[in-house]
Amino acid sequence: MTVKEVAALIEHFAPLTLQEEYDNSGLNIGSYESEVTGILLCVDVTEAVLEEAKSLGANLIVSHHPLLFHPLRQLVDADYVQRIAVRAVREGLSLYAAHTSLDSAPGGMSFRLGELLGLTDMEVLEPRTDFPGAGFGVVGHLPEPVPTRDFLKQVQQRLSVGAIRHSELCREQVHRIALCTGAGGSLIRQALRSGADLYLSADLRYNDFFVPTPPMVIADVGHFESEYCAIDLLYAIITKKIATFAVHKSEYSINPVNYLV
């Protein structure tokens, strides 16, 4: 199996045409014609992940975040991105990223996070007009209303969140939940319009936490924590078609943010 064939499996689920203009989803480093000896799935490509791939005999790393997000003007080992890029080329590793294409694909990242949190009847929060079923974020329901603090504690446990930043708990219970994986501050208005009791996302700014009208609880669970589900989603996409192939979930894909609590 070649890199091109693995990419085709991913892009059947998450076409590259769905990525945002600023993004760099797709093959970042390597050759589409290379034969794949194994696949390693991660959130971010780090030097530890490269070592892990080498130890597993995997020459294709599929990540959620692109290593090459910004153009490189030089390759002089000045930072971890350049060091990884140089090493990947030198050691014949291919790096593929499924970023905003996976975020906005039908059944994509936010749907997977919603499933983890027990949401049902999910709908896209901000639909795209050019691709049915695609868009960012979801809104759905918990099986029954639950105390707001209890729901946040469940989120903390299920996502292994070190700390949740949240607005005033202006609702005693929550039932209708909106969420968006990654940096979702731009969807707060859509969450309000959807009638959500609580909106969950990451990378929210100070002013985002002022309770809106009508009142809605706003919670920030952390960028990595909200997107760790990418590994399981990519695993399901790839192994559905090639169940016998060596596909590994990285054990070194870890949160760069630490919490003092």
126: CATH: 3.40.1390.30
Residue 73: per-residue pLDDT:
85
Considering the domain architecture, whether residues 205 and 160 belong to the same structural domain is answered as yes
Alpha helices in 41-137 (DSSP H): 47-56, 80-91, 100-104, 109-116
Considering the domain architecture, whether residues 87 and 132 belong to the same structural domain is answered as no
Considering the domain architecture, whether residues 48 and 88 belong to the same structural domain is answered as yes
In a domain, 158, yes or no: yes
In a domain, 259, yes or no: no
Considering the domain architecture, whether residues 48 and 14 belong to the same structural domain is answered as yes
Based on the number of CB atoms within 10 Å of its own CB, is 73 exposed (0-12), middle (13-18) or buried (19 or more)?
A: exposed
Residue 127 has pLDDT above 90, yes or no: yes
Residue 66: per-residue pLDDT:
98
- The 10s digit of each residue's pLDDT in 158-193 is 999 999 999 999 999 999 999 999 999 999 999 999
In a domain, 257, yes or no: no
Torsion, Cα 234 235 238 239, to 10 degrees, reads -160
Residue 177: per-residue pLDDT:
98
Cβ atoms of residues 97 and 25 within 8 Å: yes
Residue 2 — pLDDT band, cuts 50, 70, 90?
very high
Nearest to 205, CA basis, from 220, 215, 216, 227: 220
Residue 130 has pLDDT above 90, yes or no: yes
Residue 56 has pLDDT above 90, yes or no: yes
Considering the domain architecture, whether residues 111 and 215 belong to the same structural domain is answered as yes
Residue 74: per-residue pLDDT:
87
Residue 76 has pLDDT above 90, yes or no: no
Residue 108 has pLDDT above 90, yes or no: yes
Considering the domain architecture, whether residues 232 and 216 belong to the same structural domain is answered as no
C-alpha span between 14 and 109 (Å, rounded): 10
Domain that holds residue 78: 3-101+228-249
In a domain, 188, yes or no: yes
Considering the domain architecture, whether residues 16 and 62 belong to the same structural domain is answered as yes
Q: What are phi and psi of 127, to 5 degrees?
A: -70, 150
**First vs last C-alpha separation in the chain:** 47
Residue 71 has pLDDT above 90, yes or no: no
Residue 77: per-residue pLDDT:
83
- The 10s digit of each residue's pLDDT in 205-239 is 999 999 999 999 999 999 999 999 999 999 999 99
Residue 137 — pLDDT band, cuts 50, 70, 90?
very high
Mean residue pLDDT across the chain: 97
- The 10s digit of each residue's pLDDT in 230-246 is 999 999 999 998 878 89
- The 10s digit of each residue's pLDDT in 11-42 is 999 999 999 999 999 999 999 999 999 999 99
Q: What DSSP element (H or E) covers 152?
A: helix 148-158
Please tell me the total count of domains within the chain. Answer: 2
